Amino acid sequence: MKRVVVTGLGMINSVGQDKEEAFSAILNGECGIKHIELFDAEKYSVKIAGEIVGFEPSKVMDAKEVKKADRFIQLGLKATKEAMDDANFTTEVDKERFGISSASGIGGLPNIEKNSVICHTRGPRRVSPFFIPSSLVNMLGGFISIAHGIKGPNLSCVTACAAGTHAVAEAAKTIMLDGADQMLVVGAESAICGAGIGGFAAMKALSTNNENPKESSRPFDADRNGFVMGEGAAALVLEEYESAVARGARIYGEVIGFGESGDANHITTPVVDGPLRAMRAAVRMANKNSDSGEVKIDYINAHGTSTPANDKNETAAVKELFGGAENCPPMSSIKGQIGHCLGAAGAIEAVVSLMAMRDGKLPPTINYTTQDENCNLDYVTDGVRDADVNVVMSNSFGFGGTNGVVIFKKI
């Protein structure tokens, strides 16, 4: 099969509106979680989220088109433009051999909420004609394909919080099997609205630490009490290795392994077995693609949601994978800084993992102050850490028991 490398990156989230700004803030432990401004959350039990402040969609799309695209699409367009510019295609590429693998967990929930209210209170004739095309998850790829003239495979993953990582795997598979020469991966999410916050709060999944927003997301900490919703997007340009080398592209890393699994257990409660099998599958593939037959993973970007069940189970799965806590590499979660960006999380964390490998700097897990006896690994809790990073693993696990893992290697 063909080798697949990453030649372009883009990112936007609550601590930065481009990849360098956001990555620097994440390394510095800055937190973008604050009281919600996107809607009036006064009557809600949860009033905090990782919002992006000051984003102007008219800078990435025509002002007349803005109303036709939900915010998650607008954020996706922003990250995509950065990634495509970063990939620096100085000569023409065959756009029929250039595809898209997009991802979102929920899609246009704010528009669904808004038009449902309009339909109920003002009647169906007042529903916007842009409602459906602005809300569908696959319209993320649709808008992007139009913006960049991309005519190859146009795929979409809607697998909850594992969607972004699954989109990376789907793109890699497409290139490996000669379905395309380049694939643009984009994950985007913006579900900070009444229905989104109210729905997750009803499940008791969210932190209610409204008094201290910046301390509310506490991955692996004993006092964690739920995740904090974030919004954002990330994009990666994946390319067939020989093509990238021939055009002199900068290569951030190679996709050497990915794994997927299902828990077959519960729609919302995670287990140890499913994530473990996904990680094992990714490592098994990476080992097959290694000259030595065995890769050494230097860093894990954890799913690390700050929920009681996920953090404990992910820790247990990692310890099982490596044969004990003493053998595990450093592992951290950036969700303390930006919140949980749902379907965009895997794409954002893939970008952060590649940049960590590029710079030899491990992002910290912030807000870790009290050790949980079930979470006893090296979570990089002492601030950003310099390290020799040649192989990184990024984990994503979602509702419905769907799991995705991807491994990148420095070239």
Q: Which residues are catalytic?
A: 161, 303, 340
3-state per-residue secondary structure call for the chain? CCCEEEEEEEEEECCECCHHHHHHHHHCCCCCCEECCCCCCCCCCCCEEECCCCCCHHHCCCHHHHHHCCHHHHHHHHHHHHHHHHHCCCCCCCHHHEEEEEECCCCCHHHHHHHHHHHHHHCHHHCCCCHHHHHCCCHHHHHHHHHHCCCCCEEEECCHHHHHHHHHHHHHHHHHCCCCCEEEEEEEECCCCHHHHHHHHHCCCECCCCCCHHHCCCCCECCCCCECEECEEEEEEEEEHHHHHHCCCCCCEEEEEEEEEECCCCCCCCCCHHHHHHHHHHHHHHHHCCCCCCCCCCEEECCCCCCHHHHHHHHHHHHHHHCCHHHCCCEECCHHHHCECHHHHHHHHHHHHHHHHHHCEECCCCCCCCEECCECCCCCCCCCEECCCCEEEEEEEECCCEEEEEEEECC
The C-alpha atoms of residue 134 and residue 403 are separated, in whole angstroms, by 27
What the block records as the tokens of 325 is 């806590």
Phi/psi of residue 252, each to 5°?
Answer: -80, -30
Q: Are 168 and 235 in contact (CB under 8 A)?
A: no
- The H-assigned helical ranges of 177-264 are 194-202, 241-246
Q: How far is CA 275 from the centre of its chain?
A: 16
Lookup: tokens for 83: 């990634």
**Residue 295 to residues 257, 276, 391: CA-CA distances in angstroms?**
10, 17, 8
